[in-house]
Amino acid sequence: MNGDEARPGPLCLVTGATGYIGGRLVPELLDAGFRVRCLVRSPSRLRDHPWAREVEVAAADVCDADSVDRAMEGVDIAYYLVHSLGTGRDFEKTDREAARVFGGRARAAGVRRIVYLGGLTPQGVPERELSPHLRSRTEVGRILLGSGVPTTVLRAAVIIGSGSASFEMLRYLTERLPVMVTPSWVHTRIQPIAVRDVLRVLVGSATMPEEVNRAFDIGGPDVLTYRDMMIRYAAVADLPPRVILSVPVLTPGLSSLWVGLVTPVPRSIARPLTESLRHEVVCHEHGIEEYVPSPAGHPVPFDEAVRLALRRVREARVTTRWSSASLPGAPSDPLPTDPGWAGGSLYSDRRQILVDAPREALWRVIEGIGGDNGWYSLPLAWAARGWLDRLAGGVGLRRGRRDAQRLRVGDSLDFWRVEEIEPGHLLRLRAEMRLPGLAWLEMYAEGNGDGASRYRQRALFHPHGLLGHAYWWSVSPFHAAVFGGMARNIARAAARYESARQEEHRTAR
């Protein structure tokens, strides 16, 4: 174990810290003054989190009583945020055994409270008729409530936030299919909840009175069908209205295959989620308000929750996950540890090449790109793209650049805008041409020793709707010539610049 031992406050044990909710809960607990210990099987998976050095880490498996015993030492509140969804057919058995171990070891360690995030279940439906996913979540909650440790079970339906499997399924279905033939479960009523509200209630549950040992329904202010959510997502994302036709013939298995064809969400996760969508999941009580009252503006309405989940894209910024930066973000934002299919589609073209010149010479060429210096590949193609952009009402290539040698953040550069610059290392440009999506171009200069350097180049495109995907695939055959040629010619220009500089130096001597 390691971490900041001097941090005051009760000690919280967070299981599932590498998961969607756990990874976002930890910084919220730290901000609230708690100490945090993360129980993970692979501690190395925490290293990309910006808060990794502020927590203790316990390497343990929730099914291994001995390792859980060690992780429970001195713990005041234990958050149970793990489940075996997507790991195989025996996930119900695995979840049952893990819950029994966790509850028993928490009681033996004198833990004051267990907080568990489960699933919202339909009222009046026998447990045996629930989907395996919801049935398992219900059983785990019951085991923890009977553990002898005061337990808060929070039952939520669809969580709205970038990285949530349910939200990502909604995102991809809506963005990729302007016309949909859907299963009948699109008419099932659901009460979604913003991830911000889930985290707020999770943190607030840590201070519940000792006598509280019960389950609470939690949800947002809107009760919607899945069809309603797709239509409203499209409106918030500025997509054309979606045409949604439902048919009764798609079984849960066929539904998951359909979802798998349209979205990158793994079938092992999509199937239990789609099976659960046949049940109406609406809050039937609001007892949580007595213990964790909602502040002004909460719970967050559905449209605002979607807007927050799309916030990084709306601000036209490369997201944390996309840029591989370890920057703290809002709870609705992607994290570096989210699965590759989370955060929406992002296409990329990557190039790198060794340069026979030092990094300083390479950076000189990178910073001088555009304007009269051009873009180092197929000038006619770049000119044609500029003409097409002007015909579509865009800025084209007419803006040039402010200074022939130097760039600064905010400068216009032909039909790009300088979004970020790290002198001597990184130039990131955001496209301002007319596109069915958002695009960036990144250029890196890196030292490679012995007077050489390495040039790295990355073109990124976040498509907007089906037209955005079609655009990327229509132009990708030309990337080898455009972007590949650009990388090669920048490397050659840097070598020529360095050769001329050395010749000038010799002549001066």
> Are 488 and 482 within 8 A, CB to CB?
no
For the cut 70, the answer to whether the pLDDT of residue 158 exceeds it is yes
Q: How far apart are CA 340 and CA 415, in angstroms?
A: 30
DSSP 408-436: -TT-EETTEEEEEEETTTEEEEEE-S--S
**Predicted pLDDT at 330:** 58
The pairing of strands 151-156 and 113-119 is parallel
Compare 204 and 129 and report the one with higher pLDDT: 204
Q: What is the CATH number of the domain that holds 205?
A: 3.40.50.720
Q: How far apart are CA 505 and CA 509, in angstroms?
A: 6
Q: Could you tell me if 313 and 454 lie in one domain? A: no
**Predicted pLDDT at 317:** 43
DSSP 289-330: HHHS---TT-SPPHHHHHHHHTHHHHTT---HHHHT------
**Predicted pLDDT at 318:** 45
Q: Is the residue at 326 inside a domain?
A: no
Domain boundary among 273, 306, 321: 321
Q: Is the residue at 416 inside a domain?
A: yes
* pLDDT tens digits for range 245-290: 887 766 656 666 667 677 777 766 777 677 777 788 999 999 999 9
Compare 353 and 397 and report the one with higher pLDDT: 353
**Predicted pLDDT at 69:** 94
Q: Could you tell me if 187 and 152 lie in one domain? A: yes
**Predicted pLDDT at 325:** 35
Q: Is the residue at 335 inside a domain?
A: no
Q: What is the mean pLDDT of the chain?
A: 87
Q: How far apart are CA 138 and CA 133, in angstroms?
A: 9
Q: What is the CATH number of the domain that holds 402?
A: 3.30.530.20
Of the candidate ranges 186-195, 315-324, 455-464, the one whose mean pLDDT is the lowest: 315-324
Q: How far apart are CA 106 and CA 85, in angstroms?
A: 23
Q: Is the residue at 437 inside a domain?
A: yes
Torsion from C-alpha of 470, 474, 478, 479, nearest 10 degrees: 10
Q: Is the residue at 51 inside a domain?
A: yes
Using alpha carbons only, give the angle 38, 300, 274 rounded to the nearest 5 degrees: 70
Question: Taking the chain, what is the end-to-end CA distance rounded to the nearest angstrom?
Answer: 61
Range of the domain at 439: 347-508
Q: Could you tell me if 368 and 316 lie in one domain? A: no
Q: Is the residue at 337 inside a domain?
A: no
> Are 103 and 95 within 8 A, CB to CB?
no
Q: Could you tell me if 313 and 353 lie in one domain? A: no
Q: Three-state SS for 19?
A: coil
Domain boundary among 321, 336, 356: 321
For the cut 90, the answer to whether the pLDDT of residue 39 exceeds it is yes
Query: Sorting pLDDT into bands at 50, 70 and 90, what band is 314?
Result: very low
**Predicted pLDDT at 223:** 97
Domain boundary among 286, 321, 356: 321
> Are 406 and 367 within 8 A, CB to CB?
yes
Q: Could you tell me if 305 and 406 lie in one domain? A: no
Q: Is the residue at 38 inside a domain?
A: yes
Query: Sorting pLDDT into bands at 50, 70 and 90, what band is 222?
Result: very high
Q: Could you tell me if 269 and 400 lie in one domain? A: no
Provide the percentage of residues in the chain whose pLDDT is more than 70. Answer: 88
Q: Could you tell me if 122 and 189 lie in one domain? A: yes
Compare 370 and 133 and report the one with higher pLDDT: 370
Q: How far apart are CA 76 and CA 29, in angstroms?
A: 13
**Predicted pLDDT at 504:** 83
Q: Could you tell me if 274 and 384 lie in one domain? A: no
Average pLDDT over residues 204-227: 96
Cβ burial, residue 488 (10 Å; 0-12/13-18/19+)? middle
**Predicted pLDDT at 509:** 67
Query: Sorting pLDDT into bands at 50, 70 and 90, what band is 403?
Result: confident
* pLDDT tens digits for range 384-401: 888 888 888 888 887 888
Global pTM value = 0.76
* pLDDT tens digits for range 425-451: 999 999 999 899 889 999 999 998 788
Q: Could you tell me if 165 and 271 lie in one domain? A: yes
Q: Structure tokens of 465?
A: 């709707």
Q: Could you tell me if 95 and 208 lie in one domain? A: yes
